[in-house]
Every structure is written in C-alpha cells, then in structure tokens.
Amino acid sequence: MLSIDGIDAGGAVRIAGRLDAAQAPTAQSQFDRLAGVVTLDCTHLDYISSAGLGVLLKTHKRLVAGAGALRLQGVKPHIRDIFEYSGFDQIFDLGSAG
C-alpha cells in the first residue's frame, strides 16, 4: 500500500508504504500537481523500486526546470542504499538519515 498526504497543503508532503511499479502511476499523477521547492517526508516510506525512482526523478527534473526542487528527508538507510546504487544520492538532496 502507498499513501501520499499533503500534496495541496503547501508544507511537507508525506509518503508512506511501498512505491513500486503498481503504485507508480498513481504517485506520478499526484506529484504532477507539485510546484516550487517541495520537501518529501520519507520517514514512513518502506520500499522503493526502479519504478518509484522514476517517479521521483521525473518530478525533480520538472521542478528544477521551474527553479524548484524535490528535497527528501527521513530516508531510511536501506532506501538510501538504493539511491546510492542508482547514483540518485548525487542528484537529490537527501537531507539527514531517517
């Protein structure tokens, strides 16, 4: 299961659960509504696959093109490893460890 809260609230967006290939289209449709500099609270994100990474990358590129960014915080160590294996730790602000 995946939950995303705070999309339209203007503060941090919270994501929880599993961001996998089955959930990626839903996540992308919600992230497409984001604008500016957005903090994504990943404290309760338990799992991410390459499909989920694709959602984050597409969103980050769109936001950066508009002088914004997608900043992550609270990333769990095993998910941080996935970012490092992918080289995404070099293109995302991962903040402090979760």
Partner 1 sequence: MTQQAFARRVDALAAIVAFTDAALAPSVLDEARRQAVHLAIEELFTNMVKYSPAGAPKIVIEISCSDGAANVTLIDAGVEPFDPTRAPAVRTDPPLERREPGGLGLHLTRQLVDSIHYEHDAEHREGRTRFRVDPAEARPTAAGTAPARGDDHAQH
49 binds partner 1, rule: CB under 8 A: yes
| Helices 50-65 and 24-31, packing angle to 10 deg | 10
Q: Annotate each residue in 24-43 with x if it binds partner 1 (CB under 8 A) or - if it does not, as one string.
A: --------------------
Contact call for residues 15 and 42 (beta carbons, < 8 A): yes
Which one of residues 13, 27, 40, 53 is an interface residue with partner 1 (CB under 8 A)?
53
22 binds partner 1, rule: CB under 8 A: yes
Torsion angle defined by CA atoms of residues 49, 28, 42 and 92, in that order, rounded to the nearest 10 degrees = 80
21 binds partner 1, rule: CB under 8 A: yes
The distance of closest approach from Cβ of residue 9 to partner 1 in the complex, given in angstroms and rounded to an integer, is 26
Alpha carbon 79 to its chain centroid, in Å, reads 11
